[in-house]
Structure 1
Amino acid sequence: MGQLTSSHMEFVTAQARAWVEKLKCANCGNFLSYFPIHTTLKSQNICGRCPTPSETVIRNQLYELLSLQIQFPCRYAGQGCPANKFPAEIPQHELQCTFKELKCPTQDFTDCNTKVCYRNLITHCQVKHRDLFLEKGLFEFPLGWYHKHDGLLEHRNQLFIVRRKFRVEDNLFQISVTPSECGEDTVWLYRVHLTCGSAELGVKGNTKVGVTEIFLDSLVTQKGKASKISGKLFVMKSSNPKIVKDDIKALPLRNVFPSTKSDSTKGQMGFRGIKSESLGKMVQKRKDRLPFYASRK
């Protein structure tokens, strides 16, 4: 039996690719590489990316079995993704593919409706929304009146949406930090350090809890001649997935900025410059309990 030549192999490969190109979803036009695959009464095949049609459908288990060993191009091949994956690998790859197109993360608070390739997301925001970035995590807001700001933070090639609000009637400061991730279920921890005059306050939060609330009564009462509150946001990636649970108890309030006072005053200080009696007013609440989080410009 003769051996296959390289030209013959190329022909076979081209034929296989041409055959795979015909395996497309009748609804969305993507490859039939995302299970389950359903067949309608009209013999149309629907991929698992699409909602199951309301009409009677049958799961095409024979096709699924036969296609398990086929490598399909990524659905974002047209945007430049070179990957070829087996059906078992497709869902995770599509979730994390850096060639996928996303809506601009600022669309909730700007007029930008641009669709951007994920790998170019930070560059797009730096060019189009430079004024929204928190440089080195620094921010400030005035005392005495309502304040609301939606902005961006870049940290280790990751983009975060930072939403802040200050309610003057009860001195309540709210902040949420949301990663603009590409399908990765990553937990990010953050710390907020606030100062007003000589008074300081620190508190922890995380991207799973949602919104962190901090009552600033102690800062305001010790403001002296200060007319604004300055803050700095620190973001870090959690190395331990167990550190964050879907519960506010995952990040109890505690002193994250050790006191610089003498030992004789440590019993009276919960945070630097903040008396412990005011700590009872500091709470962290879940995102779904705060109407401001969904508010738009």
Structure 2
Amino acid sequence: MTTAAARTATRATAPADRGVGPLLRAWRQRRRVSQLELALRADSSARHISFIETGRSRPSEEMVLRLAEHLEVPVRERNSLLLAAGYAPHYPETPLDDPALEALREGMERLIQGYEPCPALVVDAVYDVVAANRGVLMLLDGLPESLLRPPLNAMRLTLHPEGLAPRIRNLREWRGHLLAQMERQIALQRSEQLRALYEEVAAYPVHQSRHAPEPASPVPYFALPLQLEHEGRTLSFISSIATFNTPMDVTVAELAIETLLPADPATVKYLQSLMP
């Protein structure tokens, strides 16, 4: 086993004593796919899928990966399935500061800088900030030093009562959106660190906004906006999240690039005024 694969094996979360069958069945049911439908997608038979799920048949390594692909199983959990089936992990988990990912890091930096003055940042699987542009730093201006010590955490910065939360005009709606997003991720990833973060930020007190409710906007929003007070004005953003297509590394698969795009003409005008 290679060093990278060995490192991944030590971090994988597969309950090997359960076997791969029940795990695959759980993923199939989560995706609401029948055995027949999965068999057709994977060029197999419903009988073979049934035998795998009940433990009567041990799938090959190729079959495990094929079923995981068609069930859209996250990359980290694909390693867990392989371990449960008795195989070595297929996907390495390379530290982001590894020289092998230098081109990736430089590419992400150029990407988020290209969005300026729109805020853009890169976060990992537990919302620790990997990179951020000057638009993000503008929004964080004035926050207490205790929240700005690395590693910065996007959820903590947003929902902490001493963070951005008091500046968010629609805090209850935005908080509900973020917590629901985390709940969906927890359902897909058996991550104790992510669950601990969720329990922490969900317990933060939610104070009534000191602002009067926003009047109905003449511009209808096409998605839930983040309405954020900044230097006496209200900025409205729509969040856009991008991930890497067909990743072959656990670390890369769990990175997300979030961009806050202006949601109304006033925000566009203000951001344009920041351009040199």
Give the TM-score of the pair, scaled to structure 1: 0.26
Structure 1 or 2: more strand by fraction = 1
Higher relative contact order (CA 8 A, sep 6+): 2
Higher helix share: 2
